[in-house]
Amino acid sequence: MSLPDFAIEARNLVKTYPATKTTAEMQALKGIDLQIPRGSIFGLLGPNGAGKSTFINILAGLTKKTSGTVTIWDRDIDQRPRDARAAIGVVPQEISADPFFTPYESLEVQAGMYGVPPKERRTMELLTALGLGDKAKAYVRQLSGGMKRRLMVAKAMTHNPPVLILDEPTAGVDVELRRQLWNFVVDLNRKGVTIVLTTHYLEEAQELCDTIAIVNRGQVVACEPTGDLLKRLDTRTVVITSNAPLTEVPILKGFEGKLRKDGSLAVAFKTGETGVEQVLAAVRAAGVGIKDLATEDPSLEDVFLSLTYGDPTAERPTGT
């Protein structure tokens, strides 16, 4: 059997939530086209309300789409819903673990629900991989928040799906646990599992994902390899430390400078139009002595803002 080029493919996917007594009809997805390459760590990035969870819920079979087609591992979710669902594991945003099960039992029950025969279950292997080996027989209610979250990841993997979806996986997870989770995810990816990650933490997507789709208001505004996306914004910044402390922004011919809190001078320029040399010449001409300098590439946040800018009501990313 040949493997699909795309782990997930959505075509013209539309979701309209019907009006209720208190809310108007809401088109949460306005014709999403997405191809998620097999083997990638794919980031689905966008502000709150962009439609990320709606998309994930449709994949997971929890929400019905209004129109369009979706295939998971080449299995159409309308024609082969069970097979399609068997190809993904979804780690939901909310922690929902039965407090009266041990992690071991919890995974066994989950495997049973997916019809995994006892001989093929990998319960201890999964618990160990997620650093829960010594908690196998503890009650879930005795686990810390981070442990519960890792248990959710293990649960999503009990039926050994080729695609793992993590919905905002690190919300409320501390740095140490985040690292552990990423190590596990990257390891899974090396073993061939396609990873889809939703986040509004731009740095997270930038660090982890090889491909990033940006969604805003139910539409895909960009979908490219991470590096290309960053290159799209051709602004770089020169940061200059002057010999004498600057108290006000010098007037620069052809550029606009900004004073940073540490007293350095940041000057942005378009790489397609000019270069560091020209910036430095303008700074010197303004009588600023240069003691030190550094250049900065755009962050994903800059790219995101430039792509969604122009929509003044778009929510600015926060929490990064």
- Contact set with ligand ADP (CB under 6 A): 17, 26, 28, 46, 48-54
Least separation in angstroms between CB 265 and ligand ADP:
38
Least separation in angstroms between CB 45 and ligand ADP:
10
For ligand ADP, give the closer residue by CB, 50 or 130. Answer: 50
* Contact by Cβ (8 Å): 157, 106: no
Instruction: Assign 3-state DSSP to the chain and report helix, strand, coil percentages, each to 5.
Output: 30, 30, 40
Least separation in angstroms between CB 51 and ligand ADP:
4
For ligand ADP, give the closer residue by CB, 47 or 257. Answer: 47
Say what angle helices 145-156 and 103-113 make with each other, to 10 degrees: 30
- What lies within 8 Å, CB to CB, of 48 at 6+ separation is 200, 315
In 3-state terms, what secondary structure has residue 291?
strand
- The C-alpha atoms of residue 283 and residue 267 are separated, in whole angstroms, by 9
- What lies within 8 Å, CB to CB, of 198 at 6+ separation is 43, 44, 45, 52, 53, 56, 165, 166, 167, 168
For ligand ADP, give the closer residue by CB, 39 or 49. Answer: 49
For ligand ADP, give the closer residue by CB, 13 or 288. Answer: 13
For ligand ADP, give the closer residue by CB, 32 or 267. Answer: 32
Least separation in angstroms between CB 94 and ligand ADP:
12
For ligand ADP, give the closer residue by CB, 28 or 97. Answer: 28
The C-alpha angle with vertex 22 and arms to 21 and 23, in degrees rounded to 5, equals 105
Least separation in angstroms between CB 186 and ligand ADP:
24
Least separation in angstroms between CB 25 and ligand ADP:
9
Least separation in angstroms between CB 179 and ligand ADP:
25
- What lies within 8 Å, CB to CB, of 208 at 6+ separation is 41, 43, 182, 185, 186, 197
For ligand ADP, give the closer residue by CB, 46 or 317. Answer: 46
* Side chain identity, residue 249: V
* Contact by Cβ (8 Å): 192, 162: yes
